[in-house]
Structure 1
Amino acid sequence: MPYAQSPLSPVRRRAARVLAVTGAAALLLAGCGSSNSGDSANSANSANSSGSGNSANKRTVKDATGKAVEVPAEPERIVTLTQEDLDAVLALGVKPVGITNGQGLNEPPAYLKDRVQGVPVVGNLLQPVMDKVIAAKPDLILAGDMQDEQMLRQLREITPATLVTMAPTDDWKLAFRGIGNAVNKLDQANKVIDDYQAKATEAGADLGRNKGAAVSIVRWNPTGPSWMEKKQFAGGVALDMGLTRPTAQDKDGNAHSPALSLEKLSEIDGDWLFLSTLTDDGKAALKDVQSKPAYQELNAVKNNRTVTVDGSVWSTRGGPLAADVVIGDFGKALSAS
């Protein structure tokens, strides 16, 4: 999962143009055994110069761009540059030594905050401060969907074990398996996904009269609302729970619609309306429109079936811990009615 088509950060817009739509993160699953010959030894020595540990035990994996990268067989000092990378390693029981702030935030995502107490923040989402990364002494850097080649070169000078972990069209399960492979925990990653699938199915079956309801999933931007396509992270969780989408939102894909005008506000209607924001400007825009007739005439609004959810969870590309939050949000709202 990618982020919204509008608005997107410049880095993510570049990512969407550069990477192929074939789900390149699947290549991460092609890990192979230790490699200790010539070039590998040089890579290991470079890694050791930044304090990244023993070079004797390495594996080679392919990252989401198809690049072969030598990584520690058992990485001990992982730095994550996106919320999705952080979610993934925490779900695998690994605490990183450096993280970035959440999307649109100046702090870690609220749903992960308790899990990363005391972990140094090395910058904002996909915008690491190199001195802080160096201070973390990583032996593995998980760089999300970063496509800033200059920045990647700088990161690889800190440790050659720097991985682009996702392509714009990868869903969170594919990217999560790739990250699981990169940290040598693929079996555990597969179990996490199996457990998620079972939980989503059970939660969807327990929704009573709202089982299979048409849920509208919307992020409110300063320029207006954007609904999420079916394979965007939260939309995918809805499908896994057996929920449906309103006719206007019944579109395959993993992005957001363009921001809608008041004249098209009916596109966000549904049996239920789940609303998120990411910025204070977005919150202000939502508050302003809630007094307008076009909003008040939505069936979900008239039936008191609107739910405000955390945009830093629902509007991201997701991971197993975020998916657990979304399942809980759906369950709390729909099973109570």
Structure 2
Amino acid sequence: MTAPLRPRPSLPRRAARVLAAVGAAALLVTGCGSSGGSGGDRDGGVRAGSSGGTRTVKDATGTAVQVPEHPRRIVTLTQEDLDAVLALGLKPVGITNGQGMDKPPAYLADKVKGVDVVGNLLQPVMDKVVAARPDLILAGDMQDQQVLKQLRSITPATLVTMAPTDDWKLSFRGIANAVNSIDKANEVIAGYEAKARRAGEDLGANKGAAVSIVRWNPDGPSWMEKKQFASGVALDMGLKRPKAQDKDGNAHTPPLSLERISEIDGDWLFLSTLTSDGEKALKDVQEKPAYKDLNAVKQGHVVTVSGSVWSTRGGPLASQAVIDDLTKALKK
């Protein structure tokens, strides 16, 4: 679900010198007071203790990483990492723009005013990361080993926070463990689950409705599989997915042709886009008979939602936004 990775250019000479200095200092600091343990579980299970200023945790790849006991300068490289950190009551010193955007995601914008942007999604500008002086970098589902090596020369406390099949709750607990806030994470998740149940019970005639969740791409619509983030929120509310979309998985289908557009039908249809090209493609198809014949369209049950929330891997604050969107539409 994330933007495709691009090869990163080599570091400018000035940045390389700064990286070397910062990295050496970070290594010295991280080595002090370490327990030397084998590393704790991502979700806050058994983990190494600390006799000083660091702890050892495992990231999403199973790598043991020493992190500050109480990080003070966190840089997040995805909006999912940012969402998680903010939900834990922390404010990062550096963030990246939202998925497919040249600015932070709108649903988090008021919470990150004044925070430096250090690049685009999973594409950090190293000079800017260095300038943020992080003691912890949360690198989302970063797979580019060259970029990870550069980040770890800024601070060894750089964690991959998401594996390909992780849901947002597992990733969130892993991030919480990294910042020593697992109890807070469990409280947040319990609060979300209670809110989802209450919201679903309060939908009246639409309780248990079949909701179609679709991302409109330039090439056509793709429906979201059941384990994708927004679908998971709907299911937690007791809603259902249409029969054609009742499939396990945490991604979206390839774009559908007009001949298969009936697959996106449901009691309600929730549509999102991520780009202007996607918006144009959606407007174009809305004039075609195949779209107008959809039951949800005939019933006036089509709702446009934010792709920067619904089409991502999600987080605790995004989940609240999806609940609110579903409730607003279905309680009418």
Asked if 2 retains the 8 angstrom alpha-carbon contact of 1:28 and 1:63, the reply is: no
**What residue number does 2:264 align with?**
268
**What residue number does 2:44 align with?**
29
Q: Is 1:238 equivalent to 2:234 in the alignment?
A: yes
How many equivalent pairs are there?
298
TM-score calculated relative to the size of structure 1: 0.87
Taking the TM superposition and a 5 Å limit, the aligned residue runs for 1:70-109 are 70-109=66-105
Q: Is 1:328 equivalent to 2:304 in the alignment?
A: no
Amino acid aligned to 2:56:
T
Amino acid aligned to 1:33:
G
Decide which of 182, 207, 214 is 2:178's aligned counterpart: 182
* Aligned equivalents of 2:266, 2:132: Cα separation in 1: 47
* Aligned equivalents of 1:10, 1:238: Cα separation in 2: 30
Q: Is 1:204 equivalent to 2:185 in the alignment?
A: no
* Aligned equivalents of 2:182, 2:209: Cα separation in 1: 34
Q: Is 1:66 equivalent to 2:81 in the alignment?
A: no
Which runs of 5 or more residues in structure 2 are unaligned? 7-39
SS across alignment from 1:29: coil
Deviations 1:68-104 (A, max 9, x none): 0000000000000000000000000000000000000
Which runs of 5 or more residues in structure 1 are unaligned? 12-24, 36-55
Taking the TM superposition and a 5 Å limit, the aligned residue runs for 1:24-63 are 27-30=42-45, 31-34=47-50, 56-63=52-59
Taking the TM superposition and a 5 Å limit, the aligned residue runs for 1:146-295 are 146-295=142-291
Asked if 2 retains the 8 angstrom alpha-carbon contact of 1:69 and 1:163, the reply is: yes
* Aligned equivalents of 2:5, 2:121: Cα separation in 1: 12
* Aligned equivalents of 1:28, 1:332: Cα separation in 2: 33
SS across alignment from 1:114: helix
Decide which of 305, 317, 320 is 1:309's aligned counterpart: 305
Asked if 2 retains the 8 angstrom alpha-carbon contact of 1:28 and 1:182, the reply is: no
TM-score calculated relative to the size of structure 2: 0.88
Amino acid aligned to 2:243:
T
Asked if 1 retains the 8 angstrom alpha-carbon contact of 2:192 and 2:316, the reply is: yes
* Aligned equivalents of 1:127, 1:297: Cα separation in 2: 42
Q: Is 1:112 equivalent to 2:108 in the alignment?
A: yes
Asked if 2 retains the 8 angstrom alpha-carbon contact of 1:59 and 1:72, the reply is: yes
**What residue number does 1:9 align with?**
4
Asked if 1 retains the 8 angstrom alpha-carbon contact of 2:173 and 2:186, the reply is: yes
**What residue number does 2:30 align with?**
none
In structure 2, relative to structure 1, the CA distance for the partners of 1:26 and 1:173 (3 Å cut) is farther
* Aligned equivalents of 1:79, 1:34: Cα separation in 2: 23
Asked if 1 retains the 8 angstrom alpha-carbon contact of 2:5 and 2:144, the reply is: no
Asked if 1 retains the 8 angstrom alpha-carbon contact of 2:42 and 2:177, the reply is: no
Asked if 2 retains the 8 angstrom alpha-carbon contact of 1:28 and 1:61, the reply is: no
Q: Higher relative contact order by CA 8 Å / sep ≥ 6: 1 or 2?
A: 1
* Aligned equivalents of 2:79, 2:42: Cα separation in 1: 21
SS across alignment from 2:130: helix
Asked if 2 retains the 8 angstrom alpha-carbon contact of 1:126 and 1:144, the reply is: yes
* Aligned equivalents of 1:284, 1:223: Cα separation in 2: 11
Asked if 2 retains the 8 angstrom alpha-carbon contact of 1:221 and 1:259, the reply is: yes
CA RMSD of aligned residues (A): 1.3
**CA shift for structure 1 position 27:** 3.5
Amino acid aligned to 1:175:
S
**CA shift for structure 1 position 33:** 1.3
**CA shift for structure 1 position 308:** 0.2
